[in-house]
C-alpha cells in the first residue's frame, strides 16, 4: 500500500507569549491559521523503517536531520509504541514549508506521519488519541492535524476551532537562513521580564476573523516574538517595510521567524505585492487561508 498525506504550514495571526512555566515551556494564547503551502509525506509498506526527504529547489536539504533524528521518526516510534506495533514502512517527505522558518514545517510532517502511518498500519487511532500523541511530539502538531483557524492555549497544544468567515490572502517571504526558535524565546525572556503568567485571548482579532474583513484582521494581527526576532535579524524589519510599501495591509514575522507574512486585500493585491517583492527577494510565495489540516491525498 502507498499513501500520501498533505499537511499545511501555519501562520500565527496572534502570538501572545507569557513568562516561562516551571517545565520551561512558555504559556501561549495564539490564533493559528493553516495556509496553502504544504509538505507531502508518502508512506509505503516495507520491512524495516526508513525516512528520506526532498526539498523545494530554493531550500537547503542539509538543515533537515536524517538517520533517525527526523520528527517523522519520532512520530512513527510514538504511534507504534501506543499500539504495541513494530515500526515499519518507508516514508518520503517532499518539503515546501521552509525549514526553521517559523511556519511549523516539522510539525506538519509529524502530523502527516501520524495520519499516514495510522492508516498504513490499520491502527484505528481515535481522534482524541491522535491529538494527544501529536501534543507529545510538539506544541504545534495538534494544530497541523486540525487545520483551519484555531485558538491555541497551554503551550499551544490545546486547540479549538474558531469562527472564520474570511478568505485570506498572504504573501510569504522565507529567508535563506533559519532562526532558532529557542534562541528567539530566550531573547524574548530578556526583553520581556514582565510577561504575564497567562497571556490574554485576543478577542478583537477573533471578532475580525469571524467578520471576515481583511482590514479589520490586519489591524489586530500581533506577534509578541516579533521584537525579539527583529532584534536578532534587523533585515526582517526592512522586509516588513518593503512589503507594506508595496501595498500589503500588514506585514509581520511568522511565529519565531524568520519567514515574514503579508496580509493582502485579495488575490490580485497579493500577486501585486509578491511581484514587487520579487525584485528584491529570491523566494516570494502567495498562499490562501484557511485550509484543511493533515489529510490523505492519494491512496492505493
Q: Residues in the site for ligand ATP, rule: CB under 6 A?
A: 63-65, 70-72, 93, 99-107, 109, 140, 181, 255-256
According to the annotation, is 258 in a ligand binding site? Answer: no
Q: Residues 10, 95, 118, 224: which is the catalytic one?
A: 10
According to the annotation, is 65 in a ligand binding site? Answer: no
Q: How far apart are CA 142 and CA 14, in angstroms?
A: 17
In this structure, what C-alpha cell is assigned to residue 162? Answer: 474558531
According to the annotation, is 108 in a ligand binding site? Answer: yes
According to the annotation, is 106 in a ligand binding site? Answer: yes
Between residues 214 and 255, which has the closer beta carbon with respect to ligand ATP? 255
Cα–Cα nearest to 272, from 235, 250, 243: 243
Between residues 103 and 117, which has the closer beta carbon with respect to ligand ATP? 103
- Whole-angstrom CA distances from 299 to 1, 60, 90, 120, 168 are 8, 29, 15, 10, 30
Between residues 107 and 220, which has the closer beta carbon with respect to ligand ATP? 107
Q: How far apart are CA 161 and CA 256, in angstroms?
A: 22
140 is catalytic: yes
Nearest residue (beta carbon) to ligand ATP: 106
Cα–Cα nearest to 12, from 164, 165, 180, 156: 156
> Residue 254 carries which DSSP code?
-
Strand partners, 93: 41, 53
Between residues 181 and 220, which has the closer beta carbon with respect to ligand ATP? 181
Q: Residues 73, 118, 140, 164: which is the catalytic one?
A: 140
- Measure the CA dihedral 249/107/175/233, to 10°: 80
Q: How far is the CB of 202 from ligand ATP (least distance, A)?
A: 19
Q: How far is the CB of 93 from ligand ATP (least distance, A)?
A: 6
Q: How far is the CB of 85 from ligand ATP (least distance, A)?
A: 21
According to the annotation, is 107 in a ligand binding site? Answer: yes
Cα–Cα nearest to 144, from 89, 92, 90, 103: 103
Cα–Cα nearest to 299, from 105, 109, 122: 122
Q: How far is the CB of 44 from ligand ATP (least distance, A)?
A: 17
In this structure, what C-alpha cell is assigned to residue 8? Answer: 499545511
- CA count, 13 A, side-chain hemisphere, 8: 24
According to the annotation, is 99 in a ligand binding site? Answer: yes
> Phi first, then psi: what are they for 102, rounded to 5°?
80, 20
231 is catalytic: no
According to the annotation, is 100 in a ligand binding site? Answer: yes
Q: How far is the CB of 289 from ligand ATP (least distance, A)?
A: 16
First vs last C-alpha separation in the chain = 6
Between residues 64 and 236, which has the closer beta carbon with respect to ligand ATP? 64
Task: Name residue, grid cell 486547540.
Answer: 159
Q: Residues forming the annotated binding site for ATP?
A: 98-108
Binding-site sequence positions: 98-108
Hey, which residues are catalytic here? Answer: 10, 140
Amino acid at each position: 500500500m502507498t499513501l500520501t498525506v498533505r499537511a499545511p504550514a501555519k501562520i500565527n495571526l496572534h502570538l501572545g507569549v507569557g513568562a516561562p512555566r516551571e517545565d520551561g515551556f512558555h504559556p501561549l494564547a495564539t490564533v493559528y491559521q493553516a495556509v496553502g503551502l504544504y509538505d507531502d509525506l508518502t508512506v509505503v509498506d516495507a520491512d524495516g523503517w526508513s525516512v528520506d526527504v526532498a526539498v523545494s529547489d530554493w531550500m537547503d536539504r542539509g538543515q533537515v536531520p536524517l538517520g533517525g533524528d527526523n520528527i517523522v521518526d519520532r512520530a512513527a516510534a510514538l504511534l507504534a509504541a501506543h499500539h504495541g506495533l513494530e515500526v515499519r514502512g518507508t516514508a518520503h517527505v517532499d518539503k515546501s514549508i521552509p525549514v526553521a522558518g517559523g511556519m511549523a514545517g516539522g510539525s506538519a510532517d509529524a502530523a502527516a506521519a501520524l495520519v499516514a502511518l495510522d492508516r498504513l498500519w490499520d491502527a484505528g487511532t481515535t481522534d482524541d488519541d491522535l491529538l494527544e500523541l501529536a501534543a507529545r511530539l510538539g506544541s504545534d502538531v495538534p494544530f497541523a492535524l486540525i487545520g483551519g483557524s484555531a485558538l491555541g492555549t497551554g503551550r499551544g497544544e490545546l486547540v479549538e476551532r474558531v469562527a472564520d468567515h474570511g478568505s485570506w490572502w498572504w504573501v510569504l517571504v522565507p529567508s535563506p537562513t533559519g532562526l532558532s526558535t529557542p534562541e528567539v524565546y530566550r531573547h524574548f525572556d530578556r526583553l520581556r521580564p514582565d510577561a504575564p503568567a497567562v497571556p490574554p485571548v485576543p478577542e478583537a482579532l477573533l471578532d475580525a476573523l469571524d467578520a471576515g474583513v481583511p482590514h479589520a484582521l490586519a489591524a489586530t494581527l500581533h506577534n509578541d516574538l516579533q521584537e525579539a526576532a527583529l532584534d536578532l535579524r534587523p533585515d526582517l524589519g526592512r522586509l516588513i517595510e518593503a512589503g507594506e510599501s508595496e501595498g500589503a495591509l500588514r506585514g509581520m514575522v511568522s511565529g519565531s521567524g524568520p519567514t515574514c507574512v503579508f496580509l493582502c486585500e485579495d488575490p490580485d493585491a497579493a500577486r501585486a505585492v509578491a511581484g514587487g517583492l520579487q525584485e528584491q527577494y529570491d523566494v516570494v510565495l502567495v498562499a490562501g487561508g484557511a485550509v484543511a489540516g493533515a489529510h490523505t491525498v492519494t491512496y492505493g
